[in-house]
A = this chain, B = another copy of it.
């Protein structure tokens, strides 16, 4: 398969060396299982330091679990979550939010390039009355970076969280590619989550292996999360291996280093296809309008990627990973430049 260049997703990438080393370091027998080991007990202070405020941080096995557990802690079964029409929690999690919340609803709001705005929320939700015959709107979920490869600025997030706070909504951030967003903006991670109640801190796509972190900034929800996580089968008996991976990602800014590499690769592709980008390229995903016949030509050259949009639209999604070989990126950029 060495002749193939995979731009399908960042979820087939390698774990980064620090993560592999952490697994090895955690291998010897310990005295405590579940969350009682030395690694697991470091997560709260580690994220507390990263984000500059107290938090509860727990590993889970997938981003879907992180998102669904977060939402279940934020809204009751008769609640509703406002999110983007293309939000991963709506489109790609087989109803996990509905399962974990006990049947809460996602209320879909459109927005250009995958981004919500306060005005867009107002318009989409104008007809929602909120009386006893309707679900109770109780949270906003933002994806950062978005499903369209764009990034909310710190000010844009702040506008949304202020909008939510004014309505009594809690805020969840689906950060499957949070690292790419922070790396792209070069901003303070703490500023990015200032108004956020629960963050799905993505590791796996960014050089991790089998663990994501769920970070709750409302620490009063900590016990609820622990119970929900256990009964969801998300509390592993050798918890140290997941905690250790997460620590390896956060320490020494490995998460930002990996994300910068992926973002840079996406920028190279974006420059090569600048005239036909479907969305601004701000993280590690590139959405391109290909020409007729171009998808086939690219695949013949060994490039793997997903068709996007409607059938026959010749739209493509190109994802760069932290470890995508530069030669592959350069080759794809050249191919795109030729059209």
Interface set of A (CB-CB < 8 Å, partner B): 1, 4, 6, 8-9, 11-15, 20, 23-24, 27-34, 37, 60-66, 68-69, 76-78, 80, 91-96, 98-106, 108, 126-127, 132-136, 204-205, 208-211, 224, 226-228, 230-238, 241-242, 304, 310, 321, 323-324
Q: Which of A65, A78, A92, A233 has the most CB of B within 10 A?
A: A233
Q: From residue A11, how far is it (CB to closest CB) to chain B in Å?
A: 3
Those 8 A-B pairs whose CB atoms lie nearest each other, nearest first: A65-B233, A98-B103, A11-B237, A11-B33, A61-B61, A78-B227, A64-B233, A94-B231
Q: From residue A77, how far is it (CB to closest CB) to chain B in Å?
A: 7
Measured between beta carbons, the chain B residues less than 8 angstroms from A80 are 95
Do the beta carbons of B29 and A133 come within 8 Å of each other? no
Measured between beta carbons, the chain B residues less than 8 angstroms from A224 are 76
12 CB-based A-B contacts, threshold 8 Å: A12-B238, A14-B28, A62-B234, A64-B231, A68-B233, A77-B102, A77-B228, A91-B134, A94-B227, A95-B135, A99-B102, A210-B210
With known contacts A94-B132, A231-B95, A29–B11 Cβ distance under 8 A: no
Q: Which of A104, A231, A236, A324 has the most CB of B within 10 A?
A: A231
**Cα–Cα, bound, A108→B108 (Å):** 10
Do the beta carbons of B60 and A32 come within 8 Å of each other? no
Do the beta carbons of A98 and B105 come within 8 Å of each other? yes
